[in-house]
Copies of this chain bind each other. A is one copy, B any other.
Amino acid sequence: MSIKTVSRALNDAPHVSTDARERVRAAAAKLDYHPNIAAQSLIARRSYLIGLTYERPSPSYVVELQNGALARLEDSRFRLVVLPFRDVANRPTELGRLLVRAGLDGVVLAPPACDQDDLLEMLDRQKLPYARITPHREMARGIVATIDEVAAGHAIAAHLLSIGHRRIGIIMGDPSHAACAARMEGYRRAFAEAGAAIDDHLIVTGDFTYDVGYAVAADLLRRAPQPTAILAQNDDMAVAAMAAVRDRGMAVPADVSVAGFDDSEVSRTAWPQLTTVRQPVSELAWDATDRLIAALETERDGSSKYAASPAPRGDHAHELFVRSSTAPPR
């Protein structure tokens, strides 16, 4: 049996009888032979590596992101390389270089990297395909999986307004994430529809982390008139806000209601459980990875000239979860 026949058999290529294929399979298993991936990569000009980048998000966000991507990669020959970034905003080219040097076939960009023009520019130049998760600018660029964050922000704010809150404190996320503005825009629309106005005095800025969230929430609670509800732009800061409320001797939701954003795991392990709006991070990551791989496949199948048809934009639905951290003001 020639070496090519073996190669064909293991790669499900035609021109091999099922009998021969079986024998090859059996022999490979017995000798536990595995084709050398480096050699395959060399000839296929494919590393079979997909990168996943993110920057200092909450643990549950990272894990959901990874799980989504990994779920898609399971049973494929692609492997997932994690590449956390620090400070994408200030050194996009350095990080672009890192991505290119990692020898990836493609990369999934979570916020805020997905909105860094310089980075995208560099990836385009290097012909490194990318998929973007919940970007907020240049929505037509590359593969995009997203939710309508304006609508999601609207949903959560509308909930607080509908149960009677008007003095609502807002904890913004890291301003370098374009998502912040989108969520805020959703809040604004909900206020407008309710015939209310946002009190700029009750807006503070965090960075999506618990610690900073706690500090700015405590600051917020010292202001007069005190808000009857707090709207945080992610769950970690919302949980921090609950702690700040209680540390001032008040109760959630009796004295102050708190709502978050993301429906991350912490929203369910918090007590009381957090009212929040779900961002289907796992599905988004799955979808982004799926379309990225699809793009790689068609690219390889030669028809690269007209395969660059605009990928359908992946819109996913948000979902409001009203739990125990919100109640009407007294």
Residues of A that sit less than 8 Å from B by CB = 32, 34, 36-39, 41-42, 45, 47, 49, 59-60, 62-63, 66-67, 70, 79-84, 97, 100-103, 126, 210, 236, 239-240, 242-243, 246, 265-266, 268-271
Contacts and interface: CB of A to CB of B under 8 A. Distances in A.
Contact of A38 (B32, B47, B62, B269): B47
Residue among A97, A126, A270 facing the most chain B CB atoms (10 A cut-off): A270
A52 to B, nearest CB: 9
Contacts of A265: 59, 210
Contact of A266 (B39, B80, B269): B269
A246 B271 CA distance: 8
A82 to B, nearest CB: 6
Given A41-B41, A42-B42, A59-B59, A32 B266 contact: no
Given A42-B38, A42-B39, A266-B269, A59 B63 contact: yes
The 7 residue pairs across chains A and B that have the minimum distance between CB atoms:
A38-B41, A37-B103, A59-B63, A38-B42, A59-B59, A243-B271, A59-B60
Contacts of A60: 59
Contacts of A103: 34, 36-38
Contact of A210 (B67, B79, B82, B269): B269
Nearest to A60: B59
A246 B66 CA distance: 33
B100 A34 contact: yes
A15 to B, nearest CB: 25
B59 A239 contact: no
Given A79-B81, A103-B37, A271 B269 contact: no
A59 B60 CA distance: 5
Residue among A126, A239, A269 facing the most chain B CB atoms (10 A cut-off): A269
A271 to B, nearest CB: 5
A21 B63 CA distance: 42
14 contacts: A32-B97, A32-B126, A37-B41, A38-B38, A42-B42, A59-B60, A67-B84, A70-B84, A81-B81, A236-B269, A239-B269, A239-B271, A243-B269, A246-B271
A216 to B, nearest CB: 15
Contact of A271 (B49, B79, B80, B242): B242
A150 B81 CA distance: 35
A321 to B, nearest CB: 16
Contacts of A39: 38, 42
Given A79-B81, A84-B70, A239-B269, A37 B32 contact: no
A97 B70 CA distance: 17
B100 A32 contact: yes
Contacts of A62: 59, 62-63, 66
Contact of A81 (B63, B80, B97): B80
